């Protein structure tokens, strides 16, 4: 039986960031991943993810404001370019855009507001809803590159990185956790479970979790028309309120961003069925894709609807769309849920490392249920 300071289960973005941070602090770490590096079976894969400060909830604007210098610190420490600030658009109903403006004002962050016609003149490949806000500090994270970089750097710093290694069980032995794989057993005072859609399966019998619903989102990449091929026409965006969505400050009806080499990625919300991540066929829903094409026809005149290339990505959703980042006994759950966590990767890595080393979660929204 191996003894280590920390076992981190899941080498997606959050697990890899946590393992890297713990290893930087001089801790002995085993990072265990059931698939390979930057695999396509979970929630962290793909070329890009949105970075934005423009949240309706000041809690997440606060967190993004912390994350921005943490990204730059991580880039410097790893020698990698991982975040690009090429702008972020929000458009939709007035309440949502006013909330975003107030959140940005709290931190004295710059932004511009436009009428739909003014915005369309500046970004002619898009059509816009009634109210528009542009944040120049938003942009995109390079997701696959981030995950691979963190795994590589964690290994270089001395962690025991085990890819293609499935955790069979997690159990408790007093103040210690026992983590069993097919070939090894670890005894540790700290296990971090950053396993995305598999969190409930791994530790749902040991800690009380909120109701988690796993579904497979289906974004697609579209190619811009030849006269709009320049990336400057395509900042990241969120659409608030189309297709009947809107309500929770953390909801949006559609999102998108430009992925170099792939085109403009768009995802739209729908009532997707819950799935078992271990019994997933990766199939593309043609009716859903057709609905997305209808959305693109209405809101993106500069994209070629027939160029769509769809993929799937797991979402692990909490009822309130807040994160779960908390510790109970030797178990730390790191689940930045509901599809909006990637932009905070380095900051959540630090936060989770703090918890794993004995800290307390001070943000009520991210605590485990009592």
* Highest mean pLDDT: which range of 137-141, 244-248, 274-278: 137-141
Residues 133-144 have pLDDT tens digits of 999 999 999 999
The whole-number pLDDT of residue 272 equals 72
Q: What pairs with residue 83 in β-bridges?
A: 141
- Its pTM stands at 0.96
Q: Do 326 and 361 touch, CB atoms closer than 8 A?
A: yes
Tens of pLDDT, residues 259-270: 999 999 999 976
Q: Which fold has domain 2-45+144-209+320-366?
A: FAD/NAD(P)-binding domain (3.50.50)
Q: Where do the domains of the chain lie?
A: 2-45+144-209+320-366, 74-140+213-317
User: What number is the average pLDDT over the span 26-30?
Assistant: 98
Q: In the block, which residue shows the tokens 């959703």?
A: 317
- Helix ranges restricted to H, the chain: 13-24, 58-78, 94-106, 116-122, 143-156, 199-203, 286-299, 345-356
Q: Which two tokens mark 292?
A: 């997305």
C-alpha torsion sign, points 310, 316, 318, 320: negative
Rounded Cα distance, 189 and 177, in Å: 6
pLDDT mean across residues, the chain? 95
Which phi-psi region, left, alpha or beta, contains residue 196 (left: φ > 0; alpha: ψ -120 to 50)? left
The CATH number assigned to the domain with range 74-140+213-317 reads 3.30.9.10
Angstrom distance (rounded) from CA 33 to CA 167: 8
Tens-digit pLDDT profile for residues 54-80 = 999 999 999 999 999 999 999 999 999
Other C-beta atoms lying within 10 Å of the C-beta of residue 316: 24
- The residue among 94, 49, 126 whose CA lies nearest residue 303 is 126
Cβ atoms 366, 322 nearer than 8 A: yes
Q: Classify 51 as helix, strand or coil.
A: strand
Residue 185 has pLDDT above 50, yes or no: yes
């Amino acid at each position: 039986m191996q003894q280590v300071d920390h076992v981190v289960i899941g080498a997606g973005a959050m697990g890899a960031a946590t393992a890297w941070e713990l290893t930087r602090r001089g801790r002995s770490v085993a990072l265990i991943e059931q698939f390979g590096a930057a695999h396509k079976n979970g929630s962290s894969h793909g070329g890009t993810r949105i970075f934005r400060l423009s949240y309706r909830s000041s809690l997440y604007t606060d967190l993004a404001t912390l994350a921005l210098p943490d990204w730059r610190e991580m880039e410097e420490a790893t020698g990698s370019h991982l975040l690009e600030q090429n702008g972020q658009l929000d458009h939709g109903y007035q309440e949502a855009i006013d909330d975003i403006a107030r959140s940005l004002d709290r931190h004295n962050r710059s932004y511009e507001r436009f009428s739909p016609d003014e915005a369309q003149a500046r970004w002619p490949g898009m059509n816009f809803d009634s109210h528009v806000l542009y944040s120049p500090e938003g942009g995109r994270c390079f997701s696959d590159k981030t995950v691979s970089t963190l795994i590589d750097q964690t290994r270089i710093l001395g962690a025991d990185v085990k890819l293609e290694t499935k955790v069979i069980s997690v159990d408790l032995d007093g103040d210690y956790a026992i983590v069993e794989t097919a070939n090894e057993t670890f005894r540790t005072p700290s296990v971090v479970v950053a396993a995305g859609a598999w969190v409930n399966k791994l530790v749902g019998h040991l800690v009380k979790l909120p109701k988690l619903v796993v579904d497979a989102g289906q974004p697609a990449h579209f190619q811009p028309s030849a006269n709009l091929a320049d990336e400057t026409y395509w900042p990241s965006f969120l659409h608030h309120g189309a297709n009947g969505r809107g309500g929770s400050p953390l909801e949006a009806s559609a999102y998108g961003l430009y992925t170099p080499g792939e085109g403009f990625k768009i995802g739209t919300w729908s009532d997707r069925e819950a799935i078992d991540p271990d019994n997933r066929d990766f199939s593309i829903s043609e009716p859903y894709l057709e609905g997305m094409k209808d959305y693109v026809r209405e809101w993106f005149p500069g994209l070629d609807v027939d160029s769509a290339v769809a993929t799937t990505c797991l979402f692990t959703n909490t009822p309130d769309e807040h994160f779960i980042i908390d510790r109970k006994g030797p178990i730390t759950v790191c689940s930045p849920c509901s599809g909006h966590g990637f932009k905070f990767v380095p900051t959540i890595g630090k936060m989770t490392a703090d918890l794993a080393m004995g800290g307390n979660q001070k943000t009520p929204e991210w605590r485990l249920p009592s």
